[in-house]
A and B are shown apart, each in its own frame.
Chain A
Amino acid sequence: MTAKPKIIVGLGTCGIAAGGQDVYQAIEKALAENNIDAELTQTGCIGACENEVLVDIQKPGQPRITYGKVPPEEVGNVVTEHIVKDQISRDFVLGKIGEGDLPAEYEDIPVFFEELPFYQKQNRLCLRNCGFINPEIIDEYVAREGYEALKKVITTMKPEEVVEEVKKSGLRGRGGGGFPSGLKWEFTMKAEGDKKYIVCNADEGDPGAFMDRSILEGDPHSVLEGMAIAGYAVGADEGYIYCRAEYPLAVKRLKLAIEQAKEKNFLGNNILGADFNFDLKVKEGAGAFVCGEETALLMSIEGKRGMPRPRPPFPAQKGLFDKPTCLNNVETFGNVPVVFLKGADYFASIGTEGSKGTKVFALTGSINRTGLAEVPMGITIQEVVYDIAGGLPGDGEFKAVQVGGPSGGCIPKDLLHLPIDYDSLTDAGAMMGSGGLVIMGLDTCMVDIARYFLTFTQSESCGKCTPCREGTKRMLEILQRITTGEGEPEDIEKLKTLGDAISSTSLCGLGQTAPNPVLTTLRYFQDEYEKHIFDKRCPAGICVDLLIYAIDPELCDGCRRCVKACPVDAISGEKKEPHVIDTEACIKCGACLEKCKEEAIKLQS
């Protein structure tokens, strides 16, 4: 309970992008103008991205009230009314968090995590502090059991016991591959070496993924604490966080967090009085997607060109600067304190047989509620898409969900019942990946989606191994042909053959999984490829070269706007009479479509 009213503004990158800074300043101004004595602070992303900018107000003795989509010009009023008059703006309120009494008229405000559909099925372990603490103030982390896990580990457990506990928890790597973290720690612990490293992969590069960024921005200390525990377990005294430079706020908060943790002796020498030293550095990436691959990441930290090297030797044996290295991603480390705070048994009680705990997903695409959701492993795709994300806008029909970014695959409607865990997703041809979920409706062309992801992986291929460098280029060319109506009957077979060759012979995970978006769309949507190739049609109406512009004579009023807009004089017709498009001459630029007020110009596939 706070002594004076507290106002919290969501200032993760998502909040800032939605205008959070303006909102923050507007609140400052309103507080000053109205002589209100309140504490104004910031927090990281609570996950409800679609409702940014989020502002929370907590009055002493009352639950915390969350407002969403608050514009800067309104926020002054909202805050003043709330604090001075105890009036809660119905226009912006989302829910209430925590205990306390509210005036009777506001009893109906939904309990944030329990009654809002976005949160009902979530279980926020890794994201436990996101949206609650000011990530720039270590005391706020400490106040919520921060560094308690580290204390417990250092003062009461032997390194072997720590490793055993992580093994028992069933925690698997959250960066994509899903390797059992406890085993990785054990290998590093047992590896011979006078020097060992802990490395955190914070090079989140999948398009549409922002889980790690939100954790780093919202709760950096949980990652630091997880790394320190790992350091104690494996016998490492130094660690690196490899964070992409495109995440400036995360980098800033990480550096600040390290500085504060050192001041409090949670990092540094003789941590908490024990014979354990652990220091951390932040290394900023230079924008190569492949540096999310662990060996390329290590090369990059070493100052070399970020290119994968063969495994074995695995980093646990020979990693950073050839020393045994334990490398996990942000979310994995973020889960470590949870394992020790709540116990391995608790952690292992969540999830499925082979996948324990929770997973954070970035929900994007054609859905009503975009954002960040942490769900127990084993939840079905159906529940995520419909219960959490609220289904598709306008009751649109679900077509597929792209799981796992460029390394993942597209899962069709028939598999909506599929539980989200490492093995089920891999069996379906996709993979957990880092946790991007892009939901697609009927207006998405699956060939075009495959082409998009191949464009990405091809340009990000490091160039080292032949199948990835040359193979993804040829797959991309075939897809470009198909989407422009120049596909040939043998192209489907070529894509499968090439895809298999690239998967089975590439050097690193990037190449081995690069064909997944193509292979899964071929597996579940081959008919769409065939329509492009044989009928020269794009059923979703996306591939421009396969579309025909036509004028509906019923709707056309002969205004001639389209005739004037057409750069190639392909439209003809008398004034006030329906016009006609010469499809041979039409270059499909879309200029007519923009000008037509009657919506008479249609794209036909």
Chain B
Amino acid sequence: MSKINLTINGQPVEARAGMTILEAAESAGIEIPTFCHDPQLVGVGACRICVVEVEGGRGLPAACVAPAGDGMVINTESEKVVQARKANLSLLLANHPLDCLTCEKSGECKLQDYCYRYGVAETDYPGEVKEIPFEDSNPFYERDMNKCILCGKCSRVCFEVNGAGAIDYAYRGFKSTIAPAFEEPVENSPCVFCGMCVDLCPTGALNPKLSKGLGRAWEIDKVKTTCPYCGTGCNFYLEVKDDKIVGVTPDYDSPVNKGNLCVKGRFGWDFVDSPERLTKPLIKKEGKFVEASWEEALELVASKIKETVDKNGPEALAGLSSARVTNEENYLFQKLIRMLGSNNVDHCARL
């Protein structure tokens, strides 16, 4: 790929031909604000917060979609650019509930961050504010479209990455919103609750229900782990506060799943501290389950295996393992059963 040379904020930058201005700037460590941009999605240039000034160019192009050109002289924070970003933020604030004190997204909200960065405390253009009914009828996430700034990342990830296409823009002009077809609740749409939309939402419009009220962004530590639900081995971060899990966020750098998750990994973490969770082996004695030690339980299993093999031969023995353990553990399990002389071994995953 050929190289191009450009100047960004007075700094000489070498970039690859074909890069956008945003990519060229990022490669040189220059940060440009974005709402609608995400590296895994096709660029749409919708939010216009990333506008920059290109010397000799017309208007202010959106850095996320404008190609970087050889010899370009770009200013990402010129007075014109800053004025345009302030106007943009002011327009978004005019149509956004300013409930940051109780908003779940506070502390990791891009709208909040950029308003702070550009000193936009309130809107210059007060007027009508949209009033869209709050939606929380599904078990996994809430949709508060009054907080939506229509960056469209949710609908694009749903279509481009997940392939579900459950939501898209509806209506035009000021009435525009993101909705499932016919504005049905999302559970009546092709939504599979992968939660990727929730993860990409720059504001508090999409919130995981389970995490609600469990902690603010700045109180939470992130612990990288592997999903225990199946053998795929998706990585993600557990959000932890006071040694308790309060949520899950994706790990976009994971080579296994690149941030993609399914409903179980994304929203199914509450079993960890569930009072119904089995934490000790149970042995059925006189028709009732009774807590036992691991030694006792393993002893019982071993004796039952031996008894079965002795009585009916190894072919009478069968092993069924779980999809929730790793490939390696499944491998070991089938090895064990075969070592015991039986080929009757299976696994609960079915495609």
Contacts and interface: CB of A to CB of B under 8 A. Distances in A.
A459 interface: yes
B48 A466 contact: yes
Given A507-B45, A507-B48, A463 B169 contact: yes
A417 interface: no
Most buried by A among B46, B83, B173: B173
Given A464-B169, A498-B125, A505-B60, A458 B174 contact: yes
Interface stretch (B88-96, B214-222, B321-329, B335-343): B88-96
B60 A460 contact: no
Given A466-B149, A505-B60, A473 B127 contact: yes
A464 B51 contact: no
A288 B172 contact: yes
B47 interface: yes
A288 B44 CA distance: 20
Contacts of A505: 48, 51, 59-60, 62, 84, 87-88
B253 interface: no
Contacts of A497: 83, 87
Most buried by A among B83, B91, B168: B91
A425 interface: no
Contacts of B149: 466
Contact of B150 (A460, A469, A494): A469
B59 A494 contact: no
A69 to B, nearest CB: 40
Interface in A442-466: 458-466
Contacts of A288: 172
Contact of A465 (B48, B94, B168): B48
A521 interface: no
A464 B46 contact: yes
Interface string A256-281: 00000000000000000000000000
B151 to A, nearest CB: 9
Nearest to B53: A504
Interface string B127-141: 110000000000000
A310 B84 contact: no
B124 interface: yes
B49 interface: yes
Contacts of B59: 503-505, 512
A293 to B, nearest CB: 13
Contacts of B185: none
Instruction: State which size class the interface on B falls in.
Output: 35 or more
A305 interface: yes
A429 interface: no
A6 interface: no
A471 interface: yes
Most buried by B among A459, A466, A469, A494: A466
B48 A494 contact: no
A466 B173 CA distance: 10
A548 interface: no
Contacts of B88: 466-467, 501, 505
A307 B169 contact: yes
Given A465-B48, A501-B87, 13 more contacts: A307-B169, A310-B65, A312-B67, A462-B169, A463-B172, A473-B173, A477-B127, A498-B87, A501-B83, A501-B84, A504-B51, A505-B87, A512-B59
Interface of A: 288, 290, 305, 307, 309-310, 312, 458-467, 469-474, 477-478, 494, 497-498, 501, 503-507, 512
4 A-B pairs closest in CB distance: A463-B176, A470-B91, A501-B87, A474-B125
25 contacts: A309-B44, A310-B66, A458-B173, A458-B174, A459-B173, A460-B172, A462-B176, A464-B150, A464-B169, A466-B49, A466-B88, A466-B92, A469-B176, A471-B87, A473-B128, A473-B174, A474-B125, A474-B127, A477-B127, A478-B125, A497-B83, A501-B84, A501-B88, A504-B80, A504-B84
